[in-house]
Amino acid sequence: MQYQTDAERMKFYKSKPWRKLRQSILERDNYECQECKRQGKVFTKHSKPGKHKVFDVDHIKELEDHPELAMEPDNLETLCIRCHNHKHGRYVWNAFQFKRKPTKWDDDEKW
């Protein structure tokens, strides 16, 4: 099956078989971000309390390119939201991305 449209992808991600497999992957990976782990960091579901969704289960080989691997556990890994977004180039936050707006007092003499 091809997952070309957003509606097709959403139908897949909301399906009972996917939700069951997703849960098993989270348990297999011990609720730890595998990318953070590769970098020597520890990020678990208890690292940031209060978030409603801390982890995504990511397709290593992309769903759109390899739909035959959609339900293959060896093609899935747990990633924290930050690593998952970074992998896909979404919402990359860093200290230099947003600059503070200057105020009229910025050039004033500081005591």
Q: What is the DSSP string of 12-54?
A: HHTSHHHHHHHHHHHHHTTTB-HHHHHTT---BTTSSTT-S--
Residues 6+ apart with CB under 8 A from 45: 31, 54, 55
**Domain boundaries, given as residue ranges, for the chain:** 6-87
Q: Which of 23-27, 80-84, 104-108 has the lowest mean pLDDT?
A: 104-108
pLDDT-derived band at 94, boundaries 50, 70, 90: low
pLDDT-derived band at 69, boundaries 50, 70, 90: very high
pLDDT in tens, 26-52: 999 999 999 999 999 877 666 555 556
pLDDT value for 109: 74
pLDDT reading at 53 higher than 80 = no
pLDDT value for 47: 53
pLDDT-derived band at 88, boundaries 50, 70, 90: confident
pLDDT reading at 77 higher than 70 = yes
CB 32 within 8 A of CB 44: yes
CB 79 within 8 A of CB 87: yes
